[in-house]
Chain A
Amino acid sequence: MFCLTMYVMLQTLDDHKPTWQDRLGTPGMMIRPRGDTMEINTHNTESWDMYTKTLDNFLSPYNNSLQAEKNDECTPDQYFIQADSGDVKNNPKHSCQFNRTLLQECSGLDDHTYGYQAGKPCIIIKLNRVIGMLPGKDGQAPFVTCGAKKEDSDKIGEVAYYPENGIFNLMYYPYYGKKAQVNYSQPLVAIKFLNITLNEDINIECRIISNNIPPGSERDKFAGKVSFKLRINTKQ
């Protein structure tokens, strides 16, 4: 009985898109390296070594060579829609290249320490994948903006965004699911704190700005935004 009903239920499911997505109205945001507190000491390699390793790992699939091999070059600033023609699925679907070099100074190619040694750390931000999501309407791409929480607002200093303006280019959307779009490369935004106040805890919050992503609920601290605490020590 149980197996039968389970079987019937599983038959009703779509292979490529879940039945309900209403809980994913506001996609979540995550940072790399993970964690809500980062404390590094510029003089102490060990305090940030693991972060750079994480980033190296995380970014390795984005190496230009790899991207070129697997993914297509797409037309920027417009959705990359690969519609199915009726019942015939247009699979596998192609994915657009997101080259590591787009992250420029935070790509870790020139500066293997991602600015950690210099006290100007890079943080990489990604937006959770949601199948079929088309963020930003009227051709306005969603972008990330970071700021400090109130009392720390004058301590955050200048923040650089890569790619330009911290946008997630429209050509990476929509996402067709891991079965149809095997080599999907999730777009990233890197931020670099250029002259953050040192030796102090600074609370930073980044949000996604888009004209069609609703602000997430109060309770969910990771829906459409992400916050973390950063402290860069320079004393030995």
Chain B
Amino acid sequence: MGDKDGKSSPSKKNKKGKDMDELKKEVPITEHKMSIEECCRKFNTDIVQGLTNAKAAEFLIRDGPNCLTPPPTTPEWIKFCRQLFGGFSILLWTGAILCFLAYAIQAATEDEPAGDNLYLGIVLSVVVVVTGCFSYFQEAKSSKIMESFKNMVPQQALVIREGEKMTINAEEVVAGDLVEVKGGDRIPADLRVVSAHGCKVDNSSLTGESEPQSRSPDCTHDNPLETRNVAFFSTNCVEGTARGIVVCTGDRTVMGRIATLTSGLESGKTPIAKEIEHFIHLITGVAVFLGITFFILAVCLGYTWLEAVIFLIGIIVANVPEGLLATVTVCLTLTAKRMAKKNCLVKNLEAVETLGSTSTICSDKTGTLTQNRMTVAHMWFDNQIHEADTTEDQSGASFDKTSASWAALARVAALCNRAVFKAGQDQLPILKRDTAGDASESALLKCIELSCGSVKQIREKNKKVAEIPFNSTNKYQLSVHETEDPNDNRYLLVMKGAPERILDRCTTIIIQGKEQPMDEEMKESFQNAYMELGGLGERVLGFCHLLMPEDQYPKGFAFDCDDVNFTTEGLCFVGLMSMIDPPRAAVPDAVGKCRSAGIKVIMVTGDHPITAKAIAKGVGIISEGNETVEDIASRLNIPVSQVNPRDAKACVIHGTDLKELSQDQMDDILRNHTEIVFARTSPQQKLIIVEGCQRLGAIVAVTGDGVNDSPALKKADIGVAMGISGSDVSKQAADMILLDDNFASIVTGVEEGRLIFDNLKKSIAYTLTSNIPEITPFLLFIIVNIPLPLGTITILCIDLGTDMVPAISLAYEAAESDIMKRQPRNPTRDKLVNERLISIAYGQIGMIQALGGFFSYFVILAENGFLPSILVGIRLNWDDRACNDLEDSYGQQWTYEQRKIVEFTCHTAFFVSIVVVQWADVIVCKTRRNSVFQQGMKNKILIFGLFEETALAAFLSYTPGMDVALRMFPLKPSWWFCAVPYSVLIFVYDEIRKLLIRRNPGGWVERETYY
């Protein structure tokens, strides 16, 4: 992508960078501010006739087809190569190449070169290829290529050209075309509306807010995203019809810009990839240091240069932990699987850990924190605010339903309501049912259905005789019904709408079922209730009714709704109902957990500041008792400018203010406020917020579901998309998908991520430890000329055989303490592998292991007649094929083959000893601070691992034919026990170390050895 272009030409990269900056700026549409005539002039079009066919064809050639450039997909083989040559694999490849090089040198200089280096090189290559394939298929399974942007382009569009309506392929729509859309259509391009009839569009794919917005020809806002007279490409027209002039097509549309921005963004390396890189540096450092040291030593000892080079390569390669790549991959895969079970689908293996490192979560509001469903939250009747149950499972508290006022309010809400349940959902719980109708009415419908039973029956009993639908000038909706009582011939007029408009029409109010005159006191308490509910960020509706006097409106009265021939004044106020998209039940708890885990949760939403703040307070993003600057100002009754911003921990920032902020101011806000809400943000601003957090060194997770979130999702260290409500685009840009749309699953992700980070440390400590007993034999072989104590094949048996399962089993280890109670790790200080880990693994446990191995080696040689005293310097004769009467300490004589069998038996015993000491190592690696006795041995996989490695070692040693196949020989039973004292020593040593760490927190032992 951008990266590739950059390599081919630097100038192009600059251009690309400039483009990206350009894209991050706000939408440059200005047509909404122009008059229709200006607009027509600009596009050389006619408001009635549309474009001429010739012009359209010309524009089509000039601008290209009206479709989005699909995001450049990476060819499969490049992805495969990335798996094959990325990160850790490089280390192994280097090792393999060095092996082949050493073999080539040997082949060129010796008659019968030892095959060891060749085999090692081959095995290393095989390991890389196999693990590469494994992770490739793992990822291919999780991430399907979704060409979602492409799918969003509508297939057909109705345009007017040369005065004729014609249906053309949407791709052929050009700027200046006159387009007609109706309910159910997808908008074919960005339109400047020129005329509309009850047109409502659903901008959710762009803004994340699913509330339909009406469209009209008037410019209502300077911001093109807010104004009513622009309809956007690939959003939906829900109802009504509209006609508009196309102002942008294809990639130049608002949606196209987001798409291009998203696919142009480079997401950086994952934290775990950085950690592995750091680890490789450390390992390489140690390997090269050891290699060079012994190279110099070897030269000093009189080896030839070539021999010394072979030793150098041998030592460097021996430092490569062959099995670790596979171990890490498997550990991550296991965690990914475990997370998938808990509804977190991870698309990119490395992202498994990222949530654990996350220090900031930027969460979208609608659909992520909230249920994305308007629900009645409060009611005001009988001069009192009542709280409705907004939980998803109706487990919350209910209110007193016995009041006659409530019965009246419910009746008005049920009757003055056009929403209906869609058919065939009777078995579903009421809240889950689909409705036809607008969000507020659906909310009322569900609320009444829940508390008063079937709305359908109520409506059947009170037949509707007339109706005036809602419009923006009246700001009310009314309908006239027959009453329930067949003897009562009066008509019932019910009305709902903006509370202040409703109040204006009322002269009385129902209190406890009795009509009372509306006095000033009542009006004031109405105002207070209205303010309070509005302050909660809720949408408030007022309700009133009137039983029409029979003398004026007898039965059969012809109500005329167009030319209103009945009274709409002097009504009786019934109550207020307020609605909100309530937070999901699990969210406050999840936010609290993130808080205690030291993760800053920022809300970034396209919704209004008041609603956003209310929800933020509801879910704990702004915690109780924390105030914004505005809150402090209103509490102290001083102007906002006099409040010290440092006093306010919380803040709510409006998108338009955000636009004005400089980078420093932005950093200042992010640094100094712990509880931040960004409201009315555009997709570009979301991206800027994410970048701001990253600039401050935070590892940022972004959750979101809409297309508007996708640039931020892509830019984030880990983008989390919603599986059910999320758009395909957001899912594609994300690294992780919450299958149940539940923000609480993020907490699971954080927990799993932190756990795997800790457990990877343990796995690596365990795996690295056995490196020392693997290298030291070779070093001593060079330096003191003893027969080789451990061969290449046995080393591979350890690294790729016996060590594997125990190392992987550490991934199943339970957390030592409450990992959700500590701060997120600091990426600059808390490394996956640090010097202390290397020092423990290599310097301490590893050394004890090496001694254990050497002990078995000396035991076997001594028991066969070669006492340690004659071993030093024996190597030249020992490895001389022509010497077939080598004398041992007892005077016996050995042929070459006989003593080689003893040597290979030593290799086997050394190998078994490493298995035995690794028993202790895996047990001590289970914990980093706690004692094993505190932690327990509950990890069944680990216990299985212990048995498995032992069984494998026995199998390798005793299976007939292994002497030929792997040059491993059966051991006498007593030789199995040689390393046991060392195993015990390791256990005791490490328990004491951990005891000291626990006894003296922050003491010397902790500073020097806690990894």
Judge: A and B partners, yes or no.
Answer: yes
- Give every chain B residue within 8 A of A10 (Cβ-Cβ): 862, 867
Partner of B863, one of A5, A13, A179: A13
- As a 0/1 sequence over residues 195 to 236 of chain A, the CB contacts with chain B under 8 angstroms (1 = contact) are 000000000000000000000010111110010000000000
| B865–A35 CB distance below 8 A | no
Q: A6-B858, A222-B884 are in contact. Are A18 and B865 (CB under 8 A)?
A: yes
Task: For the complex formed, measure the closest distance between the CB of B789 and the CB atoms of chain A, giving whole angstroms.
Answer: 14
Is A23 touching B901 in the complex (CB atoms < 8 A)?
A: yes
For A14, give the chain B residue with the smallest CB separation. B890
Report how far A5 CA is from B901 CA in the complex, Å.
24
Q: Does B893 contact A (CB under 8 A)?
A: yes
Q: Tell me whether A23 and B890 are in contact (CB under 8 A).
A: no
- Does A88 interact with chain B (Cβ within 8 Å)? no
B:823-876 near A, CB below 8 Å: 848, 851, 854-855, 858-859, 862-865, 867-868
Count how many pairs of residues, one from A and one from B, have CB atoms less than 8 Å apart in the complex: 108
Quick check: A126 and B855 within 8 Å, CB to CB? no
Q: Which of B865, B868, B888 contacts A6 (CB 8 A)?
A: B868
Q: How far is the CB of A7 from chain B (nearest CB, A)?
A: 11
Inter-chain CA distance A19–B890, complex, in Å, is 11
- CB proximity to A under 8 Å, residues B862-902: 862-865, 867-868, 882, 884-885, 887-899, 901-902
Which B residue's beta carbon lies closest to that of A182?
B891
A219–B897 CB distance below 8 A: yes
Q: Which residue of A has the minimal Cβ distance to B862?
A: A13
Stretch of A109-117, A128-136, A160-168 at the chain-chain interface: A128-136
What residues of chain B lie closer than 8 Å to A221, measured between beta carbons? 897
A175 at the interface (CB under 8 A from B): yes
Is residue B972 within 8 Å, beta carbon to beta carbon, of the partner chain?
yes
Q: Which residues of B contact A177 (CB under 8 A)?
A: 890-892
**Given A175-B891, A220-B898, A221-B897: A20 in contact with B864 (beta carbons within 8 A):** yes
Docked CA distance A20–B865 (Å): 8
Most buried by A among B851, B855, B890, B897: B890
A23 B855 Cβ-Cβ under 8 A:
no
Question: How far is B884's CA from A207's CA once the two chains are assembled, in angstroms?
Answer: 15
* Chain A, residue nearest B869 (CB): A10
Are B895 and A34 neighbours in the complex by a CB distance under 8 Å? no
- Residues of A with C-beta under 8 A to B891: 129, 131, 175, 177-179, 181, 184
List chain B residues, Cβ under 8 A from A223: 895, 897-898
A29 to B887, CA, bound (A): 13
Interface pair A220/B864, CB less than 8 Å apart: no
| Given A1-B851, A6-B855: A30 touches B892 (CB 8 Å cut-off) | no
Q: Hey, which chain A residues are within 8 Å of B885, CB to CB?
A: 28, 30, 126, 128
**Cβ 8 A contact of A178, one of B867, B890, B895:** B890
Chain B nearest Cβ from A3, distance in angstroms:
10
A222 touches B855 (CB 8 A): no
Contact B901 A24 (CB under 8 A): no
Among B862, B863, B898, point to the contact of A24 (Cβ < 8 A). Answer: B898
- How large, as a class, is the contact surface on chain A? 35 or more
Known: A6-B855, A6-B868. Is A129-B893 also a contact (CB below 8 A)?
A: yes
Docked pose: A2 CA to B901 CA in angstroms: 25
Distance A157 CA – B692 CA, assembled complex (angstroms): 97
Q: Which residues B100-124 have CB closer than 8 A to chain A? A: none
Contact of B894 among A6, A9, A128 (CB under 8 A): A128
* A16-B884 CB under 8 A given contacts A2-B851, A219-B897: no
| Residues of chain B lying within 8 A (CB to CB) of residue A30 | 884-885, 893
Please determine whether B892 and A222 come into contact, CB atoms closer than 8 angstroms. Answer: no
- B28: chain A residues at CB < 8 Å are none
User: B985 — which chain A residues lie within 8 A by C-beta?
Assistant: 1
Please determine whether A34 and B890 come into contact, CB atoms closer than 8 angstroms.
no
CA distance A19 to B864 in the complex (A): 6
Question: Is the CB of B543 closer than 8 A to any CB of chain A?
Answer: no
* Residue pair A129, B892 in contact (C-beta under 8 Å): yes
Given contacts A6-B855, A18-B865, contact A28 B890 (CB under 8 A): no
Q: Which residues of chain A have C-beta atoms less than 8 A from B978's C-beta?
A: 5
Establish whether residues A19 and B882, one from each chain, have CB atoms under 8 Å apart when the complex forms.
no
Say whether A17 faces chain B, with CB atoms less than 8 Å apart.
Answer: yes
B981 contacts the other chain (CB 8 A): yes
**B859 A9 Cβ-Cβ under 8 A:** yes
- What separation, in Å, do the CA atoms of A48 and B845 have in the docked complex? 58
Please tell me if B88 contacts chain A, counting CB pairs below 8 Å.
no
Known: A178-B890, A217-B897, A222-B896. A28 touches B884 (CB 8 A): yes
Q: Which residues of A contact B854 (CB under 8 A)?
A: 2
In the assembly, what is the distance between CA of A128 and CA of B888, in Å? 11
Which of B862, B868, B890, B898 lies in contact with A17, CB distance below 8 A? Answer: B890
Cross-chain contact A131 with B981 (CB below 8 angstroms) = no
Contact assessment for B863 and A28 in the assembled complex, using a CB-CB cutoff below 8 Å = no
Q: How far is the CA of A87 from the CA of B186 in the complex (A)?
A: 105
In the bound complex, how far is the Cα of B884 from the Cα of A35, in angstroms? 10
B892 x A1 contact (CB < 8 A) = no
Shortest distance in angstroms between A57's beta carbon and chain B's nearest beta carbon?
Answer: 15
- Please measure, in the bound complex, the distance between the C-alpha atom of A18 and the C-alpha atom of B982, giving whole angstroms: 25
Q: Are A128 and B897 in contact (CB under 8 A)?
A: no
A222 touches B897 (CB 8 A): yes
A36 at the interface (CB under 8 A from B): yes
Residues of A within 8 A of B855 (CB): 2, 5-6, 9
Contact digits for A114-154, partner B, Cβ 8 Å, 1 yes 0 no: 00000000000010111100000000000000000000000
In whole Å, how far is A200's beta carbon from the nearest beta carbon of chain B? 23
A129–B865 alpha-carbon span in the complex (Å): 12
Do the beta carbons of B884 and A23 come within 8 Å of each other?
no
Contacting B at CB under 8 A, from A15-72, are 16-21, 23-24, 27-30, 34-36
Q: Are A28 and B894 neighbours in the complex by a CB distance under 8 Å?
A: yes
Query: When chains A and B are docked, how far (Å) is the Cα of A27 from the Cα of B855?
Result: 28
Q: A2-B851, A9-B859, A23-B902 are in contact. Are A128 and B893 (CB under 8 A)?
A: yes
**A184 — which chain B residues lie within 8 A by C-beta?**
891
Instruction: Kindly list chain A residues whose C-beta atoms are within 8 Å of the C-beta of B890.
Output: 16-18, 131, 177-179
Return chain B residues, CB-CB under 8 Å to A28. 884-885, 893-895, 898
**Nearest-CB distance from B300 to chain A (Å)?**
26
Instruction: Report whether A19 and B863 are in contact in the complex, using a CB–CB cutoff of 8 Å.
Output: yes
Chain B nearest Cβ from A98, distance in angstroms: 16
CB distance from B518 to the nearest CB of A (A): 95
5 contacts between A and B (CB under 8 A): A1-B985, A19-B862, A23-B864, A175-B891, A181-B891
Residues of chain A whose beta carbon lies under 8 Å from any beta carbon of chain B: 1-2, 5-6, 9-10, 13, 16-21, 23-24, 27-30, 34-36, 126, 128-131, 175, 177-179, 181, 184, 217, 219-223, 226
5 more A-B residue pairs beyond the given contacts A23-B901, A128-B895, A131-B890, with a C-beta to C-beta distance below 8 A: A5-B978, A21-B892, A23-B902, A128-B893, A175-B892
| Contacts from B to A (Cβ < 8 Å) | 848, 851, 854-855, 858-859, 862-865, 867-868, 882, 884-885, 887-899, 901-902, 972, 978, 981-982, 985
Nearest 6 Cβ contacts at the A-B interface: A178-B891, A28-B895, A220-B897, A128-B893, A18-B865, A19-B863
